Chains A and B, each alone.
Chain A
Amino acid sequence: MTTTVDIKSDYKPEGLEGQGFFATSLDKVVGLARANSLWPLPFATSCCGIEFMATMASHYDLSRFGMERLSFSPRQADLLMVMGTISKKMGPILRQVYEQMAEPKWVLSMGACASSGGIFDTYSVLQGIDRIIPVDVYIPGCPPRPEQVLDGILKIQELAKSESRNRRESPEYKAMLAKYGLE
């Protein structure tokens, strides 16, 4: 007995469709392109980084989401993935990496340590990276399973798809950056 699988195409924005053409708004096309070709910068400092390696490898395979290419230069990265304990001494380095990324940029905070300091309630550990840089998506867990990482990345893709094209120029966005002392 054969079973049939209904393969659906990826997300298609609302638009006007006809024989040989498809018309939609520029925002949606740009969002679609951005969301499906994110270049992540893995800022992996501890065990969450190991879990991320599992997420990158063939079994979970992050490249299915257009993330084949990791960028180890912040200047070419779209998504900063902070995975692991960030000590206070590491803080300024993380901030510099964030500042060197070009807009549009997203930040994903993976695991308890990056999100809140985790179990390291101590003098040397930053109690959550959102004290120094803005964060778009938090993944809970210690460490989170690869499925959770994929879920977090899909959330980032949703943000990228639905973001209005001039959000980064808006006064609200600039005010948000100013709160962190970023320009």
Chain B
Amino acid sequence: MHHQVHPSASASAIELHDKIKEAIVSKFPEALLRSQIDYDFPVFIIEKNKTHEVLEFLKNDAALAFSFLTTMCGIHFPENNGEEFALMYQLHNMPSNWRIRIKTFMSEKDLVMPTATDIWKAANWMEREAFDFYGFKFSGHPDLRRILNMDEMNYHPLRKEYGLEDAGRDDKQDKYFGR
């Protein structure tokens, strides 16, 4: 299993990366697909079906104690065949000031993911946002409704599959702009 290190990565980031990698691999030998250090940030790409367990371990293990979910979000890579969608979790261990990122990739056909609300309550609204904008389904989520867009919206607007301008628009025709 290789990992990439960005040239600007600091010694402490590399140290943290090696420590977390060691912890994940020894606990879940199959879960870690690859890892990298982006700038100064250790990133771990985890197998989809193992992600929930790994997150739970990172939170509950006394030595790791990533008790704070800084943010999580969806990502869409339309040209990434078979792994079009990704979820990103950014974790923080405040006492040690460790910050890491967990990513998991999945196919367009299977956007169901176990909720992380049982690990961090903060995941509730973040998962609603990922659902709203990308259409991820979080199984076990207590209240998976749209959070920012209006309830009547019938698509997931941040998917990279829509033209920049709505073709059906009638109010921004060239004639109004003297073109």
Contacts and interface: CB of A to CB of B under 8 A. Distances in A.
Interface of A: 88-89, 116, 121, 123-124, 127-128
B148 to A, nearest CB: 8
A123 B171 contact: no
Nearest to A122: B157
Given A89-B149, A89-B150, A127 B171 contact: yes
Interface in B155-172: 157, 162, 165-166, 169, 171-172
Contact of B171 (A88, A89, A124, A128): A128
Q: Is the interface of B mostly helix, strand, loop or mixed?
A: loop
Interface residues of B, number: 11
A124 B157 contact: yes
A117 to B, nearest CB: 8
Nearest to B172: A121
Nearest to B166: A123
A121 B171 CA distance: 11
Contact of A88 (B150, B162, B165, B169): B150
A124 B166 CA distance: 12
Nearest to B155: A123
Nearest to A116: B171
B24 to A, nearest CB: 38
A140 to B, nearest CB: 14
